[in-house]
Amino acid sequence: MDFLYASLFSLFVLVVSYSLHFFLYHSKLAEDHKLLPAGRIGWPVVGESFEFLVSGWKGHPEKFIFDRMSKFSPIAFRTSLMLENVAVLCGAQGNKFLFSNENKLVQVWWPSSVDKIFPSTNKTYKAQTMKMRKILPNFIKPEALQRYVPIMDVVTQRHFADGWDGKEEIVTYELTRNFAFTLACKIFVSIDDLERARYLSCPFESIVTGIFSIPIDLPGTPFRRGINASNFIRKELIAIVKQRKIDLDEGKATPTQDVLSHMILFRDENGKLLEEHDIADKILALLIGGHDTASSTSAFIVKYLAELPEIYNGVYKEQMEIAKSKAPGELLNWEDLSKMKYSWRVACEVMRLVPPVQGAFREAITDFMYNGYSIPKGWKLYWSANSTHKNHEFFPEPEKFDPSRFEGNGPAPYTFVPFGGGPHMCPGKEYARLEILVFMHHLVRRFKWEKIIPDEQIVFNPMPSPAKGLPIRIYPHKV
C-alpha cells in the first residue's frame, strides 16, 4: 500500500506542477503571439492527447483532424499533444511545407518517450536516425534490394506452408505480423529459426505503443511496458551482435550477408566503429519497421480483397499470368515484381484508406510565418496522412475503394503520403513494396477467403490493426 500511495502522490505532484506551468506558459503565449493558429489546448498536462488517442481507438483517427479543420481552419490549427504545443498543418500544402523545409525551418522531432525507450549513449533518437540514413543506402536502394527478392519468395512460401496450408480458419493479423517480423529477421540479421524469431517478436507491440503513449513512467503504464520491452530486446540483440563479430572473425559470416554485418564493419567519418549498443538500437528500429508497417498493410489487403470480389479477381488474374510464366520451382525475381502494376495500385489504395503511419512530428528550429500564422521556435508541428487521404478535395468519394486513382501519374504531389515525405521519408519504402507484392502473389495463388466477422472494426493504437485480428475462413484453390 505504501508503494501505491507513493506512486499516486508522485502522479499528483506531476499533475500540479504541469498544471502551473501550463497556465503560466499559455498566458504568456497569448500575450506574445497574436497570430497563433486558432485551436484549443485542452486539459492541463495532457492537453488533447486523450482525444487524439481515443479517436484512433474508436477507429476514426481522421475525426480528430477533420473536426478541428472544420471548426478552426482547413489550413492549420493549434492543439496540445504529448505535453507539447503543436500546430497541425493540414492538406497537401501543409505536407509540402513541412517536407520541403526539413532542416531549414523545421527538423524531425519525436516525443521524449523515444529517447527513454531507445537510450543510446545519451544521443538523441534524431541523431541516431540521421546516422542510420548514412549507413543504410547500400541496402535499401532498389538495385541493392533486387537480390533479396528470391529470399523473400522462399520465406513467404514457407510462411504460407507453415501458417495457412491445411487450415480452415486463421487469424490474419497474427500471421501477417509473424510473417513480416520473420522476414525482417532473415534480411537484417540472418535469423532462419522461426521459433527464435517468434520469441523476439513478442515484445514489439509494447515498444510501439509505449513510444506514442503519455510518458508517465509508473508500473503498469504503456510507457513503462515499452521501456521494459525495449530493454529485453536490446539485451538479446547485443548477444546476437557479439556472436556475429566472432563469426566474422572466424569466417563463418561474410561482410555483405546482411545489414548486421554491414553495421558491425561500418566506420563513421572519423574512422570509428559503431558500439555494440548503437548497433543493437539501430537493428531494433529496423525490426520495429519490419514488424508493423508491412504487416498492417498486408492484413488490410486481405480484408479488402475479401470484401471486393472484382478487385480480388483483378489481382488474381495478374498474379496467375506471372505464375504461368515461371518454370516449376523458379523463384520470383525483380522483373516479376515490376509486372505487378495492378496489384501495387490495389496495395496503394489500401494504404490510402488505412495508412500504416498516421502522421509524424516536426519541431520549429526558428520563428517563422506560415499562411499568416506565427509559429514560434520550439513549437512542434504535425502532419496527418488523413488530412489528404480521406479528404474529398484530393480524393473524390474518399471512402470508396478505387485503385484507378493510382493509374498514370497517380494522385497529386503531397496528397498520398503513407511513408511520409522529404528527407525523412520512410527509408524502407521500397523494401515494404517488395514484401507486400511477394505476399500478395502467394496469397491469391493459393486461396480465396471470406471474413468471419463482416463488420469488424479497425483500431489505431497507434498503428492500424483489425480489432479482432481479422479471422477468415480460407478455401484453397484446386490444383
Binding residues: 426
Q: State the binding site for heme.
A: 426
C-alpha cell at 243: 556472436
**Smallest Cα–Cα separation from 436: which of 346, 360, 355, 359?**
346
**Smallest Cα–Cα separation from 281: which of 354, 316, 318, 231?**
231
Three-class secondary structure assignment of 151-202 = HHHHHHHHHHHHHCCCCCEEEHHHHHHHHHHHHHHHHHHCCCCHHHHHHHHC
- Alpha-carbon gap, residue 221 to 478, rounded angstroms: 49
23 exposure class (CB count in 10 Å sphere: 0-12, 13-18, 19+): exposed
Q: Which amino acid is at 44?
A: P
Q: What are phi and psi of 460, to 5 degrees?
A: -115, 115
For residue 219, give every residue at least 6 positions away whose Cβ sits within 8 Å of its Cβ, in sequence order, or none. 7
Q: 120 vs 137, 285, 295, 410, CA distance in Å?
A: 22, 12, 27, 40
Q: 200 vs 69, 124, 215, CA distance in Å?
A: 41, 25, 24
- Alpha-carbon gap, residue 174 to 299, rounded angstroms: 9
- Alpha-carbon gap, residue 205 to 465, rounded angstroms: 11
249 exposure class (CB count in 10 Å sphere: 0-12, 13-18, 19+): exposed
- Give 3-state DSSP helix, strand, coil % of the chain, rounded to 5: 55, 15, 30
For residue 342, give every residue at least 6 positions away whose Cβ sits within 8 Å of its Cβ, in sequence order, or none. 314, 315, 318, 403
Residues 343 and 320: beta-carbon distance below 8 Å: no
CB neighbours (10 Å) of residue 244?
A: 21
